[in-house]
Amino acid sequence: MTERRLSPLDKLLARADNALRTLTPGTIQAERAPAHASAEPDAPEAGSLPTDKRRHVLGLMRINHTGEVCAQALYQGQASTASLPHVRHAMEEAAREEEDHLAWCEERIQELGGVPSKLNPLFYAMSYAVGATAGLVGDRWSLGFVSETENQVVKHLEAHLFQVPESDLRTRAILEQMKSDELKHAVTAKDAGGADLPPPVRHAMTLMSKVMTFTTYRI
């Protein structure tokens, strides 16, 4: 009921506020901790990792942080154009859950002595446009896009877990919890009626993901 009373300007300001909060370090606080984090009080500090491994983990977490920036933009874009209220609400709820991931990644990047990617504003804008377009095409395709996106994210997280040292329990706890959450989002979107995307679309998404990972690891 509250949402129906929002004017177009109110909605525009809400989207702008989300973008600013997403792109401004320190503004989003996690509402929960990764499932296994509290059980790992002796997890090594960033300084205990060898320099080369610390630098590599930092690059991986920068990629994951930008991925969460993109997720926020995608969900907000889709919510802005979704036709069915329950689909729009599902997108907004998923975006709220992804905020924990954003905060975890940002905090870990700081602990490792780094900063988020400078390309985040660009990727946010691109992802918002893609999300809004997916919403315009239709809710079945929008949900299918969410499912495919989350499945690809799960594969990235599995690859990153393989590269993170076993001794880096804190990073591993974050990635494991993110993987669990993303898989849940993929299944939820599929069960809600998400359509299977055509192979060319999936390939284009994979290519875009490769561009993002290559650049944000370094910049």
Is 38 within a domain? Answer: no
Instruction: Give the percent of the chain with pLDDT over 70.
Output: 84
Is 134 within a domain? Answer: yes
How confident is the model at residue 150, as a pLDDT? 85
Is 115 within a domain? Answer: yes
Backbone CA torsion sign across 137, 138, 144, 146: positive
What average pLDDT does this structure show over 188-198? Answer: 79
182 annotated as a binding-site residue? yes
Is 21 within a domain? Answer: no
Q: How far apart are CA 39 and CA 33, in angstroms?
A: 11
> pTM of the predicted model, to two decimals?
0.84
147-176: buried (b, 16+ CB within 10 Å) or exposed (e) per residue? bbbbbbbbebbeebeeebeeebbbbbbbbb
**Tokens read off for 171:** 């990073």
Q: How far apart are CA 136 and CA 149, in angstroms?
A: 17
State the residue range of the domain holding 166: 50-218
148 annotated as a binding-site residue? no
Q: Per residue in 112-134, pLDDT tens? A: 999 999 999 999 998 888 888 87
203 annotated as a binding-site residue? no
Q: What is the CATH number of the domain that holds 152?
A: 1.20.1260.10
97 annotated as a binding-site residue? no
Is 30 within a domain? Answer: no
Q: Which residues contact 69 (CB under 8 A, 6 or more apart)?
A: 22, 23, 102, 116, 120, 123, 124, 127
How confident is the model at residue 1, as a pLDDT? 40
Is 85 within a domain? Answer: yes
- Look at the chain and report how many structural domains it folds into: 1
How confident is the model at residue 21, as a pLDDT? 78
Q: Per residue in 1-25, pLDDT tens? A: 444 566 767 667 777 777 777 888 7
56 annotated as a binding-site residue? no
Q: How far apart are CA 218 and CA 58, in angstroms?
A: 10
Is 6 within a domain? Answer: no
Is 2 within a domain? Answer: no
3 annotated as a binding-site residue? no
